[in-house]
Amino acid sequence: MSKVFCIGHFKTGTTSYSFAVRMMGFRDIHFPLKYAEHLQETGSVVWDDRPWDSLSNINEVEYSQCDEAYPDSKFVLTTRDVDKWLVSIQRHMSTDWPPRLKRLLDWRSQVIFGCPCDIEAYDEWYFRRVFKDHEEAVCDYFLHTDQLLVLPLESGTKMQDLARFLGKDVPYPKASATASPSSPGLPMMVEDSTKEGYPKVPVFLQFEEPVQW
């Protein structure tokens, strides 16, 4: 069964992607904790613990396995100006994350960057190289297919481009659109989303289970 995978690095607009595809009717899970633990323990990208259509903020480097396990799937490479990404990733690595999340972020950072998610491990030259190498490798892998959309954060037509790629109409949110505070997940606003080409409304970032903070 085909799926949609967002395979951009952390801090490249993956939260906005998750919000956008959920508006289009996809069941996206953003950094699914159970899936991350499953992937860490088994190495398998196949996961049927709960219904889903899309995964984001995970599988950045497992795209070839995802392509094999879920034929004819779509892949979205979120990207942004590398200098701005370096600033953002430093903030990300400086954050005091809850224990379970920190453990998984350390593991993902080791897989992707070869170091824990800790600002003490940050190296600008190396992170810049990994960022560029990842984009080149993804584009090379999908070169002769129609399975990949490169989605720059700075683009003003991201919503339209994403909808067209996924065969959906561009959704128009209600002004009061928000999720119940009792929903499992993290309350957050998609910042500057109007400027980025996304509608700007409060959202709850959905996880597959309540997260203990």
Q: What is the pTM of this model?
A: 0.82
Q: What is the mean pLDDT of the chain?
A: 84
CA distance 134 to 146: 19
- Average pLDDT score over residue span 124-136: 97
Worst-scoring range by mean pLDDT, 41-50, 124-133, 192-201? 192-201
Which pair of tokens denotes residue 38? 């499953």
Concatenated DSSP letters of 28-91: EEES-HHHHHHHHHH------SS--SEEESS-SS-HHHHHHHSTT-EEEEEE--HHHHHHHHHH
CA distance 208 to 72: 25
pLDDT recorded at residue 174: 42
Three-state DSSP class for residue 176: coil
Report which residue type is found at 135: E
Structure confidence by residue, pLDDT tens digits, 13-61: 999 999 999 999 999 999 999 999 999 999 999 999 889 999 999 999 9
Please report which confidence band the pLDDT of residue 169 belongs to, taking 50, 70 and 90 as the band edges.
Answer: confident
Give the start-to-end residue ranges of the domains of the chain: 4-206
pLDDT of residue 9 exceeding 90: yes
Q: What is the CATH number of domain 4-206?
A: 3.40.50.300
